[in-house]
A and B are shown apart, each in its own frame.
Chain A
Amino acid sequence: AQSVTQLGSHVSVSEGALVLLRCNYSSSVPPYLFWYVQYPNQGLQLLLKYTTGATLVKGINGFEAEFKKSETSFHLTKPSAHMSDAAEYFCAVRGGGADGLTFGKGTHLIIQP
């Protein structure tokens, strides 16, 4: 079974500041890890994913995340926040097989001017 914990239901940063959204997971099998973004009243858009290989993955809109097996973490970062980054961010994990995603509870990112 898999589970995801996102620390902080709300994160507020100033425009231009570093964005750090935390995600820890547990998985009984080597995990596939994902970050999705959701804008109000819209579906989920994939930001980036880790499956195998390089542990630092780059995604869209300047986001990146690092898979740290020893810490069971997959934190999302962006060097400089933009107003358009304000949204809900979900970390998700998936095991093998045609399984659905297990999502964290989400982090609402607020960008202050």
Chain B
Amino acid sequence: DAMVIQNPRYQVTQFGKPVTLSCSQTLNHNVMYWYQQKSSQAPKLLFHYYDKDFNNEADTPDNFQSRRPNTSFCFLDIRSPGLGDAAMYLCATSREWGPGQETQYFGPGTRLLVL
């Protein structure tokens, strides 16, 4: 089945130790998004790729970076995780942005724990 896959589902890292979360999709969608969801809060958009064009939200910390080497894969890099970065990280895709193709499909998320 076509889907959005996130690995791993749970990730434990140490304070200040770089960590990478991965997302892959078999939907062949052009747009990929990363959201951060802290406990009992709404998901918050960090950035998105439209094809290879990277779009960073204004309030996304510099500590967060992303890579999209091809259509199928997108990575979230946290260069120096702090305790406040512990959260669920959600990857989503949409085919395009125009009418009828704007629905975002979410992966199951990766829960990050920072020790």
User: A interface vs B, CB < 8 Å?
Assistant: 32, 34, 36, 41-46, 49, 51-52, 90, 94, 96-106
Query: Once the chains bind, are B97 and A100 in contact (CB under 8 Å)?
Result: no
**Contact between A98 and B50, CB atoms less than 8 A apart:** yes
Beta-carbon contacts of B44-67 to A below 8 Å, as 1s and 0s?
110010100001010000000000
Which of chain B's residues has its CB closest to A4's CB? B42
Most buried by B among A34, A45, A52, A98: A98
Flag if A105 contacts B41 (CB, 8 Å): yes
**Which segment, of B14-22, B70-78, B79-87, B104-112, faces chain A?**
B104-112
In the complex, A101 Cα to B90 Cα: how many Å?
Answer: 12
* B107 and A100 form a contact (CB under 8 A): no
Number of chain B interface residues as a range: 20 to 34
A43-B109, A90-B42, A103-B42 in contact; A97/B104 too (CB < 8 A)? no
- Using a Cβ cutoff of 8 Å, how many contacts connect chains A and B? 61
Contact A98 B48 (CB under 8 A): yes
Query: Which residue of B40, B41, B48, B99 is within 8 Å of A51 (Cβ)?
Result: B99
B interface residue numbers (CB < 8 A to A): 4, 6, 31, 33, 35, 40-45, 48, 50, 55, 57, 90, 92, 94, 96-97, 99-100, 102-109, 111
CA gap between A105 and B108 in the complex, in Å? 19
Report Cα–Cα, A46/B104, bound state, in Å: 8
Q: Which residues of A contact B4 (CB under 8 A)?
A: 43
The reply to whether B57 and A43 form a contact with Cβ atoms under 8 Å apart is no
- Contact between A100 and B106 (Cβ–Cβ < 8 Å)? no
Contact of A32 among B55, B90, B102 (CB under 8 A): B102
Contact among B40, B45, B96, B109 with A101 in the assembled complex (CB-CB below 8 Å): B45
Within 8 Å by CB of A100, from B35, B100, B105, lies B35
Chain A residues positioned under 8 Å from B99 (CB to CB): 51-52
- Given A41-B111, A43-B109, A90-B42: A101 and B104 interface contact (C-beta under 8 Å): yes
